[in-house]
Amino acid sequence: MSRRRILVVEDDEAMAGGISDVLELAGYEVQTAHNGREGLAALDGWRPDLIVSDIMMPEMDGYDLFKGVRARPELISIPFIYLTAKGQKVDIRQGKTMGAEDYLVKAFDWEDLLVAVKSRLERFQEIRTASETEIATLKNRILNTLSHEFRTPLTYITGYADLLQDKDLPPADLQHFLKRLQSGSMRLSRLVEDFLFLISLQAGEAEMAYRLQRDHFAGWATLVERVLANHADKAAARHVTFSSQVDASIPGTMLHAAFVESAVSRLVDNAVKFTMNKPGRVHVEVSARDDGVQIAVSDEGIGITSEHLPTIFEPFHQIDRDAHEQQGAGVGLAIVKGIAELHGGKVGAKSTPGVGSTFMIWLPLDLAALD
C-alpha cells in the first residue's frame, strides 16, 4: 500500500524540518516548501493527500496558497491544516471561513499534529469513498436509463421500418406502422431534448438564456390553456379530464415564459401519465401566494409514498420502474426544479398513495425589473 503524501509549507526551516521528520517517522511521504509560491509549484508534479501550511509567509501567504489550490479543479478536494503563531480568533475564523479543515497554534505538541493529520486524512478518505460510490450509482442510473429509454423507441423505429419494406402492405397496416414510427421518433426526440436541457441547466447555459430572454409576462390563463390543449389527446386516451383556475389579479412579472411553460407542461404530462387504470381529473391552479405566483398541478393518480417525496425532484429518480412502465427517463421533475430555481423560485409536492398528488412551482414576483 502506497504511503499517504503530505505537503508541508513553512518558511521557518527548523520548524519545517521538525514537522517533516515527525511525519516521516509516522510513515508519511513528505515534501516541503518555504512559501506559498513554492508550494503551488510543487503541486505541478506531485499530488499530496493533505497540505499543512503556515499562514504568515513571504512572497505568498497561506491564505493565497489556499485560494490558489482551490482554484484548480483537480486539487479542490485536498484538505488543509493551518499553522500559525498568532492563535487569534480572527485568524482562526478566517481560515475556517475559507474552508480549511483544521487549525494548529504554534507551539503545538507533535502528538497533536499527528492526531490532526490522521483525523483529516481519514475524513478525506471517507468523503472520497462516499463520492466515488455516489458517482458509480449515478453512472449506473444513467446507463440503465439510457439502455431502457433509448432502446424502446429505437426498437419501434427499426422494427416498423423493417415491416414497411413489404410492398404489399394493406393501407390500414401502413397507416398503423407509420403512426408507430412517428411515436417512436417523437419519444426519442423528447428524450434527447430532455437530456440536453438538463445538461444546459447544470452547465449554466440555461441561466444565461434566462438572463438574456426573460421578459414581462402576464398571460397565465393563455399559458395554462395552451398547455392543456397540447395534452388533450393524451388525456382523452387515458380518460382524464382537465380543469383549471387562474387568478386574474396576479400582476405582471419578469420571467422566461418558454421555460415556465415547459415546466408546467411537464407537470401536466406527469399528472396524466400517472393517472392509471381509472378515469381521473387533472386540475391546474395559478394563484398569488407569499409575494409570488404558485402554479399547482393536482391529479387523482397513483400517488407517491412519503419515503420517495424528499427525492422526487432529483435527476433520474424513478418510482417502481418495473411496476410502472413508460414512465420516462426520470429527468422531467429535475428540469422543473431547475427552471424554478433559475427564477429564484422553488418546487414542492404533496401526495397520498392511491388518492393523488399535487406538484407546486412557486416563483417570486420580480416587479423591480419592470420599473
Per-residue pLDDT tens digits for 287-331: 999 889 999 999 998 888 888 888 889 876 665 544 444 455 578
Other CB atoms within 10 A of residue 87 CB: 12
Q: How far is CA 369 from CA 90, 252, 258, in A?
A: 39, 11, 18
Task: Tell me which residue of 365, 366, 339 sits closest to 259, measured CA to CA.
Answer: 339
Q: How far is CA 65 from the centre of its chain?
A: 30
Q: Which residues pair with 200 in a beta bridge?
A: none
Look up the pTM and report it. 0.58
What cell numbers appear for 127 in the block?
468523503
Distance in angstroms (rounded) separating the CA atoms of residues 251 and 368: 12
Sheet holding 292-298, edge to edge: 240-246, 280-289, 292-298, 356-364, 346-352
Count of Cβ atoms closer than 10 Å to residue 191 Cβ: 19
Q: Do residues 267 and 283 lie in contact, with contact meaning Cβ atoms separated by under 8 Å?
A: no
Could you give the CA distance from residue 14 to residue 21 in angstroms, rounded to a whole number?
Answer: 11
Give me the tens of pLDDT residue by residue for the chain, a chain 371 residues long: 578 999 999 998 999 999 999 999 999 999 999 999 999 999 988 899 999 988 888 889 888 998 898 888 788 888 888 887 765 656 566 655 665 667 787 777 888 889 989 988 888 888 778 767 766 766 676 666 666 666 666 676 777 677 777 767 787 877 777 777 777 777 777 777 887 888 788 778 888 889 889 999 999 999 999 999 999 999 998 999 999 999 999 999 999 999 999 999 999 999 998 887 678 999 999 999 988 999 999 999 888 888 888 888 987 666 554 444 445 557 889 999 999 999 999 999 999 998 999 999 999 987 555 54
Residue 152 has which C-alpha cell? 424502446
Query: Hey, is 169 helix, strand or coil?
Result: coil
CATH top class, domain 135-199: mainly alpha
CATH architecture label of 5-108: 3-Layer(aba) Sandwich (3.40)
Task: Please state the domain extents for the chain.
Answer: 5-108, 135-199, 205-370
Distance CA 138, CA 317 (A): 10
**What is the rounded CA–CA span in Å between residue 20 and residue 150?**
56
Nearest-angstrom CA–CA distance, 61 and 55:
5
- Same fold for the domain at 5-108 and the one at 205-370? no
Task: Among 3.30.2350.10, 3.30.565.10, 3.40.50.360, 3.20.20.10, name the CATH number for the domain at 205-370.
Answer: 3.30.565.10
Q: What is the pLDDT of residues 217-242, one digit of tens each?
A: 999 999 999 999 999 999 998 999 99
